[in-house]
């Protein structure tokens, strides 16, 4: 079992975005593996960079779909994305008082809370526009 498993409870009902969420989860698992196998900060850093880039890519894809279909809560969702991007950008994994466990737990919660609390709000709207 991986550190962080995608489950149907995390589905937002749009295949593309479920796949992108799975990719984000994979990257978090890769960071966890790097930590466990003692590869240390170098590989953590690399994967964190990849996670930042893919996060931006994914958020843009969601915002584009919401814009295209006129989702009424786009602005609130966009603000939430901005907050999440700056949180992950500001992560300083070189700080000695921050443990890798803290980092992993933060990222797991960071993504889970957004999917459950924010992304799921577009599901029925985008489904009604034909996105599955």
Residues at the contact surface with Fe ion, assessed by CB under 5 A: 62, 119
Q: Which is nearer to Fe ion, 61 or 101 (CB)?
A: 61
Nearer Cβ to Fe ion (34/126): 126
- Rounded to a whole number of angstroms, the minimum distance from the CB of residue 119 to Fe ion is 4
**Is the CB of 44 or the CB of 111 nearer to Fe ion?**
111
Contact 31, 47 (CB under 8 A): yes
Q: Are 122 and 71 in contact (CB under 8 A)?
A: yes
Closer residue to Fe ion in complex, CB, 104/115: 115
Nearest approach, Cβ of residue 27 and Fe ion (Å): 13
Angstrom CA distances, 117 to 2, 15, 38, 77, stand at 23, 18, 34, 10
To Fe ion, the closest distance from the beta carbon of 86 in angstroms equals: 15
Give me the residue label for tokens 């749009």: 14
The alpha carbons of the chain give a radius of gyration, in whole angstroms, of 15
Residue nearest to Fe ion (CB): 119
**Shortest distance (Å) from residue 66 CB to Fe ion:** 9
């Amino acid at each position: 079992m991986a550190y962080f498993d995608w489950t149907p409870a995390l589905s937002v009902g749009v295949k593309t975005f479920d796949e992108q969420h799975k990719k984000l989860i994979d990257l978090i698992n890769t960071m966890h593996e790097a930590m466990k196998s003692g590869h240390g900060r170098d590989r953590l850093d690399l994967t964190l960079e990849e996670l930042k880039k893919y996060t931006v890519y994914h958020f843009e894809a969601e915002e584009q779909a919401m814009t295209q279909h006129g989702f009424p809560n786009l602005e609130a969702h966009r603000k939430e994305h901005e907050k999440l991007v700056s949180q992950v950008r500001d992560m300083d994994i070189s700080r000695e008082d921050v443990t890798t466990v803290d980092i992993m737990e933060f990222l797991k919660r960071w993504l889970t809370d957004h999917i459950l609390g924010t992304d799921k709000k577009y599901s029925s709207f985008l489904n009604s526009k034909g996105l599955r």
